Chains A and B, each alone.
Chain A
Amino acid sequence: MTPEAGFRLRHKHLLGIEPLDADEVRLILDTTESFLEISQRPIKKVPTLRGRTIVNFFMEPSTRTRSSFEIAEKRLSADSLNFSAAGSSVSKGESLIDTARNLEAMAPDMIVVRHSAAGAPHLLARVCRSTIINAGDGAHEHPTQALLDAFTMRQKKGRIDGLEVAIVGDLLHSRVVRSNIFLLKKLGAKVRVSGPPTLVPPGLHRLGVEVRTHMEEALEGVDVVMMLRVQQERMLGGAFPSLREYFNLYGLTEERIKLAHRDVIVMHPGPLNRGVEIAAEVADGPYSVILEQVTNGVAVRMAILYLLSGGVVGELAA
């Protein structure tokens, strides 16, 4: 299970889960274990990234991911700068590449990117010398979320290999689902997905998952239920008749939870829409590990920043 001492990431950037191999994913998860402890110390700071500059380049709203990265950076003693779309030259019409080149002229060591367009971090990785970390690109990938989800599953279940995982909700707009499928398949979990047919992207089964239209079938006997947020802000309308009907068919209720394994854990990447995809009593209930996901997110991001900062010449470009 444990990679050899001296093993390291073969990538300069973290653009997605898809390019990583299983050993690299395990290395990140094992390294995360050690970083969890730092957040419980009286002095929650280590000097590892002292003198490094990290830009958090967020072109889309984000609370959790951005603050999680920011705390991770501060606990590693890096200097960080937050840069968001509102109030920046992006709102004056500057292109992504021009903005990135200008940021890069200030010589940051890493850029954490959130963008509504899939592939934006990949574009930056081609034009920038800095290390690029994808913090969510369109409906493509959200690698740090998948890593913290996997870490939480491993923490609660002791393994990922052989776990039955159901991912339910708005699969069409979700980058979380894609990164999670890539990761869970690499580590040997079995994944079922479910959502209204209007919110299931065509060809999803080709990623090696079972697609079930009825939520009940997806939940049967699973070890992990991961609920996805209904991304109303991205819907042009007409995906389903009403939020109430959505909840009736795809909301995670205490009744439906009983279909899963009795030791099931319930996960959600946040933000929660209570009463839409998840009932309040389930979100706050004994199965829920939603807030532990947030705690683990900081440790996972510290591990990523640490592993990617050990960069030596000769790595692959991406």
Chain B
Amino acid sequence: MPSHSDALVMDEAKIDRALTRMAHEMLEKNRDLESLVLVGIRTRGVPLAERLAGKIREIEKMEIPVGVLDITLYRDDATTIGPHALLKATLIHFPIDGKKVILVDDVLFTGRTIRAALDGIIDFGRPSCIQLAVLVDRGHRELPIRADYVGKNLPTAREETVEVHLREEDGQDEVHIVRPGTTSRKPEPRGKEPA
């Protein structure tokens, strides 16, 4: 079944439409834009957060601050797995006390990345609330975590991999489901880790 082994589930237009809808949902849910901030989780949550901020700018003519969170040091397996991912800096150059923080990531899977991100965010202050936006929710949660804004709900088998490619990181916008045993479309396979 070669057509099932690597299925394109979102293309550039679909990703863009999903982000537009998510931006509208964010505006609907958060009347007070002054206190809204977006924080992208490295790596692919960062360009997604910037695109969402861009959509909000187009719709409301408001500049929403965007921060960058590296959760490597907060992972529950930070020192038990190897090799290390190269640690990159967290860049949150604005106070988050009392703010509404929307965490942005590409794929929601086990929920462990988000658990780590919540710990990370809380070390920067006390936001009034934290919401979660993901481009793809693929199920298989291991923790009681859910997203407030979802680009696409994608039922998957556990052993499948969801690959999100973004223009800023990978040169093109695409979401694929890759089955085990097949090679990724990317020259260097960097599947979303189950974390």
Complex alpha-carbon distance, A36 and B74, angstroms: 16
Q: What is the predominant secondary structure among interface residues of chain A facing chain B? A: loop
The 8 Å CB contact of A48, one of B79, B86, B88, is B79
User: Is B82 within 8 A of A306, CB to CB?
Assistant: no
Closest partner residue, chain A, to B87 (CB atom): A34
Proximity bits, B67-102, A CB within 8 Å = 1, else 0: 000100110001101111111111100000000000
CB of B123 within 8 Å of the partner chain:
yes
Complex alpha-carbon distance, A36 and B87, angstroms: 12
Complex alpha-carbon distance, A188 and B115, angstroms: 43
User: Is B73 within 8 A of A52, CB to CB?
Assistant: no
CB distance from B91 to the nearest CB of A (A): 7
CB of A307 within 8 Å of the partner chain:
yes
Q: B73: which A residues are within 8 A, CB to CB?
A: 38, 46-48, 76, 306
User: Is A8 within 8 A of B87, CB to CB?
Assistant: no
Band of interface residues on B:
20 to 34
CB of B119 within 8 Å of the partner chain:
yes
| CB-contacts of A202-231 with B (<8 A) | none
User: Is A34 within 8 A of B89, CB to CB?
Assistant: yes
Complex alpha-carbon distance, A119 and B125, angstroms: 45
Q: A30: which B residues are within 8 A, CB to CB?
A: 86
Most interface-central of B83, B85, B87 (chain A CB within 10 A): B87
Most interface-central of A41, A47, A306, A312 (chain B CB within 10 A): A47
Most interface-central of B79, B82, B83, B85 (chain A CB within 10 A): B79
User: Is A46 within 8 A of B82, CB to CB?
Assistant: no
If A6-B83, A7-B84, A35-B87 are given as contacts, then 7 extra A-B residue pairs at C-beta distance below 8 Å, sorted by A number, are: A5-B86, A7-B83, A31-B86, A46-B120, A46-B123, A47-B119, A52-B79
